[in-house]
């Protein structure tokens, strides 16, 4: 299995959605409910028969809507397509039934619309506009960026604008991310070793980080609190942090993994916590304090110091915390392909590995209190 996402619109219950990837059996989406107090996991299953799931993402506005990229095999051709679905109503807000009778609970997703990509190629991923009304999504197909408008309560998807990446050879986007800043008008994409930033209003490239990683760039994420900061990870086993205003040099480089890093994720509220998952079967939680929005820890003063990276020698100075690896999680036996923070509890995260194991973990309590206090 490869596809994991938190239910973005859900801010009370902790839920994750996992998509399976199987060629032989019917594919499914599992809705995992994590009960915090009792440490119980509940699972509901939805059928997704159209094909194996490579990417899944949920709408930020409507709890029941999600989009998947899946493989459709026909004869000797494989196409990756994308579609928008709706969950059955009763499963939207979680259920706390006992896990025993999960075997008969398979229900189907209601197909809302396809994202037609016959003209564009294989879909790599689908991104929802963050903090939007769930009407706009962007999909990356081969070397095209497609912006869709969902109309008639998502029953129809209309292509509103698109951009194509010109260049030599077969350019293919590997992943992308929608920036939550600048009024949600910027996205970043990765193709081969380059990271590009685009403006969605004009569909033009804004910035370009060449040779971001020695080999393929696998994933990107934006810092939710700092406008211009972006993290990328790639096959050279490194995680790099960039300031998009100065793309020649990464602000910081992490080299904790020993094989390809597939995923990098900032914590939604405390951006010094970075989660990375790699094919060396490890999940690493790092504390990147020096480039976060609170390098001096939480300041409870009247004059709030906003992001300071220089050492301003004022009276109320605390020692800047050191960047460090907080913990390495080695519960997985196989490559970890996805890591995600929960959208409901900022201290909880899930990681998914190739063999289908989903592990839910928490930030160590000591650090949590240290950050909060």
* Residue 351 binds another protein, judged by CB under 8 A: no
* Residue 36 binds another protein, judged by CB under 8 A: no
Binding mask 240-259 for another protein (x = CB under 8 A): ------------------xx
* Residue 280 binds another protein, judged by CB under 8 A: yes
* Residue 208 binds another protein, judged by CB under 8 A: no
* Residue 214 binds another protein, judged by CB under 8 A: yes
Residue placing its CB nearer to another protein in the complex, 211 or 306? 211
* Residue 77 binds another protein, judged by CB under 8 A: yes
Which residue of 21, 95, 162, 293 would you call a contact of another protein, by CB under 8 A?
Answer: 21
Residue placing its CB nearer to another protein in the complex, 226 or 357? 357
Residue placing its CB nearer to another protein in the complex, 90 or 355? 355
Following DSSP, what letter does each residue of 127-174 receive, concatenated? EEPTTS-S-EEEEEETTEEEEEEEETTTTEEEEEEEEE---SS---EE
Residue placing its CB nearer to another protein in the complex, 149 or 355? 355
Which residue of 191, 335, 343, 351 would you call a contact of another protein, by CB under 8 A?
Answer: 335
Which residue of 36, 111, 355, 364 would you call a contact of another protein, by CB under 8 A?
Answer: 355
Phi, psi (degrees; rounded to nearest 5) at 7: -80, 100
* Residue 263 binds another protein, judged by CB under 8 A: no
Instruction: Considering only the stretches 14-22, 33-41, 290-298, 319-327, report the one whose residues sit in contact with another protein under the rule CB under 8 A.
Output: 14-22
Q: Are the C-beta atoms of residues 252 and 319 closer than 8 Å to each other?
A: no
Of 367, 360, 325, which Cα lies nearest the Cα of 32? 360
The rounded distance, in Å, linking the Cα atoms of 31 and 144 is 31
Which residue of 76, 98, 118, 322 would you call a contact of another protein, by CB under 8 A?
Answer: 76
Rule CB under 8 A: which residues touch another protein? 1, 20-23, 25-26, 28, 30, 45, 47, 71, 73, 76-78, 103, 106, 211, 213-215, 236-237, 258-260, 279-281, 333-335, 354-357
């Amino acid at each position: 299995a490869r596809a994991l996402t938190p239910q973005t619109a859900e801010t009370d219950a902790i839920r994750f959605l996992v998509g399976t990837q199987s060629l032989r059996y019917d594919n499914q989406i599992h809705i995992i409910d994590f009960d915090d107090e009792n440490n119980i996991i509940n699972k509901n299953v939805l059928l997704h028969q159209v094909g194996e799931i490579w990417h899944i993402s949920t709408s930020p506005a409507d709890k029941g809507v999600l989009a998947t990229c899946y493989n459709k095999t026909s004869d000797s051709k494989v196409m990756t397509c994308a579609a928008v679905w709706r969950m059955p109503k009763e499963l939207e807000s979680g259920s706390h039934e006992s896990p025993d009778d999960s075997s008969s609970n398979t229900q189907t997703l209601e197909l809302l619309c396809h994202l037609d990509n016959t003209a564009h190629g294989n879909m790599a991923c689908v991104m929802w506009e963050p903090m939007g009304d769930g009407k706009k999504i962007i999909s990356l197909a081969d070397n095209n960026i497609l912006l869709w408008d969902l109309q008639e309560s998502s029953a129809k998807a209309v292509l509103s604008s698109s951009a194509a990446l010109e260049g030599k050879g077969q350019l293919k986007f590997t992943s992308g991310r929608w920036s939550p800043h600048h009024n949600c008008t910027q996205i970043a994409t990765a193709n081969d070793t380059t990271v590009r930033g685009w403006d969605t209003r004009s569909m033009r490239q804004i910035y370009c980080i060449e040779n971001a990683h020695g080999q393929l760039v696998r994933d990107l994420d934006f810092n939710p609190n700092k406008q211009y900061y972006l993290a990328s990870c790639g096959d050279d086993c490194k995680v790099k942090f960039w300031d998009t205003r100065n793309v020649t040099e990464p602000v910081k480089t992490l080299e904790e993994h020993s094989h390809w890093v597939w995923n990098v994720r900032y914590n939604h509220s405390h951006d010094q916590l970075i989660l990375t998952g790699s094919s060396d079967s490890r999940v690493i939680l790092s504390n990147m304090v020096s480039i976060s929005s609170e390098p001096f820890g939480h300041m409870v003063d009247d004059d709030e110091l906003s992001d300071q990276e220089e050492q301003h020698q004022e009276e109320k100075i605390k020692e800047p915390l050191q960047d460090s690896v907080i913990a390495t999680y080695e519960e997985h036996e196989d490559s970890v392909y996805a890591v995600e923070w929960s959208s409901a509890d900022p201290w909880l995260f899930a990681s998914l590995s190739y063999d289908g194991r989903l592990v839910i973990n928490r930030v160590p309590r000591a650090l949590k209190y240290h950050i909060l206090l």
